[in-house]
Amino acid sequence: MEILKYDVIIIGGGLTGLRAAAAVYHASLGRLSTAIISKVPPMRSHSIAAEGGMAAVLYPELTGDSYEQHAYDTVKGGDFLVDQDAALLLAQEAPKEIWFLEKIGVPWNRDSEGRIALRRFGGMSRPRTAFAQDKTGLHIMSKLYAYVNRLKAFDFYTDFIVTKLVIEGGEFRGVVGLDLKRGETRAFLAKAGIIATGGAGRLYKFTTNSYIVTGEMLGFAIEAGIALKDMEFVQWHPTALVPSGVLISEAARAEGAYLVNKEGGAVHVPLLRAGGARPARRGV
Ligand SMILES: Cc1cc2nc3c(=O)[nH]c(=O)nc-3n(C[C@H](O)[C@H](O)[C@H](O)COP(=O)(O)OP(=O)(O)OC[C@H]3O[C@@H](n4cnc5c(N)ncnc54)[C@H](O)[C@@H]3O)c2cc1C
């Protein structure tokens, strides 16, 4: 069996894996040899399906928003079960990520003054969602993938399914998997590994997740003795098309749509427009 050696292995070529790759590059000034392994080519990762946008406090002086408010809304939305330090860190880091993505070319929608447009999503007490049309994930992925490629610092192994994490004495040593292009088993040895293999939406009969989101790495992690955290936090959406699983983004409700029951009565009016006016039109 062929054995490949790297300083760092990143398993997953979605938004998480590609962003981690950029972070490894910048933290090490490009000195660490790094492999990105993915069972599909990066641009087929599920991240391209993300539609609605990304939450960040961008113009607090205009919106009255703050990191603390973003963190509080996040913790409240998670029924106060959320890791509060993580929520605050997320709120503090999110604006930097938006500006980084702006710098590498993500075409954020703009308001009439030329600022990055912000809208409200579920649970937000302030408008806080930056978006690139209704294809935010696709736009971010294409710019981030191009950026990571321009760094010329990574070896990509696609169509490669990792089937085992190798941990010895509590330390990461590498991975073993199936190289589908070659039809053979290969192993990677590395000093560090980053698991960025996404969720497990396909566990459910009806889901908006694509076919590759099967979550097997979660099982391999347990087999290797790695603890999983907060597995009960699966995102549920109130609106999706049956049976295709196409999501009706919460952006629809942010723009004024609301849910009705079979009698035509409103069952959920989650968002008020800025200024407090209720949406005039009835929608999905
Ligand atoms: C319809 C929809 C809309 C969404 N909209 C939004 C939104 O508007 N805003 C938002 O913030 N979030 C949104 N989300 C959630 C968001 O898309 C995900 O949280 C995010 O894309 C996850 O990124 P990821 O890189 O962790 O995973 P993924 O993009 O799923 O990438 C996983 C990677 O791991 C690889 N992989 C998996 N298993 C293996 C294996 N065994 N061996 C090798 N490689 C493996 C895959 O090939 C892939 O490259 C949405 C989700 C859905 C379903």
What average pLDDT values come out for the chain (284 residues) when binned by 10 residues?
Answer: 95 98 97 98 96 95 97 94 96 98 98 96 92 96 98 97 95 97 96 97 93 96 93 86 88 80 71 38 32
| Residue 160 to residues 13, 40, 166, Cα–Cα distance (Å) | 11, 7, 16
> Among 38, 144, 164, 186, which residue has the most ligand 1 atoms within 8 Å of its CB, making it the best to mutate?
38
Best mutation site among 43, 47, 237 for ligand 1 pocket (most ligand atoms within 8 Å of CB): 47
Phi, psi of 147, deg, nearest 5: -60, -50
Our answer to whether residue 237 is catalytic in this structure is: yes
Q: Say how far apart CA 140 and CA 106 lie, in whole Å.
A: 6
Indicate if 126 belongs to the active site. no
pLDDT (tens digit per residue) in 234-249: 888 888 898 888 898 8
97 lines ligand 1 (CB under 6 A): no
Nearest ligand 1 atom to alpha carbon 216: 41
Residue range 2-47+142-223, CATH number: 3.50.50.60
21: its two tokens: 């790759």
- Count Cα atoms within 13 angstroms, Cβ side, for 37: 31
Q: Which atom of ligand 1 is nearest to the CA of 215?
A: 38
Q: What tens digit of pLDDT does each residue of 148-185 get?
A: 999 999 999 999 999 999 999 999 999 999 999 999 99
Sorted by sequence, the CB contacts under 8 Å of residue 157 that are 6+ apart come out as 35, 36, 37, 38, 179
Question: What is the per-residue burial (b if ≥16 Cβ within 10 Å, else e) of 102-136?
Answer: eeeebebeeeeeeebbbbbbbebebbbbbbbeebb
CA of 223 to the centre of ligand 1 (A): 22
Query: 175-188: per-residue pLDDT in tens?
Result: 999 999 999 999 99
Distance (angstroms) between ligand 1 centre and the Cα of 28 equals 26
Question: In the chain, where does DSSP find H-type helix?
Answer: 15-27, 60-63, 67-77, 84-103, 136-150, 216-223, 251-254
Please list the residues that pair with 111 across neighbouring strands: none
Instruction: Assess contact for 90 and 71: CB atoms under 8 A.
Output: yes
Residue with tokens 């809208």: 119
Ligand 1 center to 54 CA (angstroms): 14
* Residue among 46, 109, 202, 218 whose CB has most ligand 1 atoms within 8 A, to mutate: 46
User: What pLDDT is attached to residue 123?
Assistant: 87
Dump pLDDT digits (tens) for 39-64: 999 999 999 999 899 999 999 999 99
Residue spans of the domains in the chain: they are 2-47+142-223, 53-133, 250-284
Placement of tokens 């490894």 in the chain: 24
CB contact at 8 A, 143 and 163 = no
State the pairing for strand pair 184-195/118-119.
unpaired
pTM of the model: 0.91
Distance 45 CA to ligand 1 centre (A): 6
pLDDT for res 30? 95
Residue type, 251: A
CA of 92 to the centre of ligand 1 (A): 22
CB 193 less than 6 A from any atom of ligand 1: no
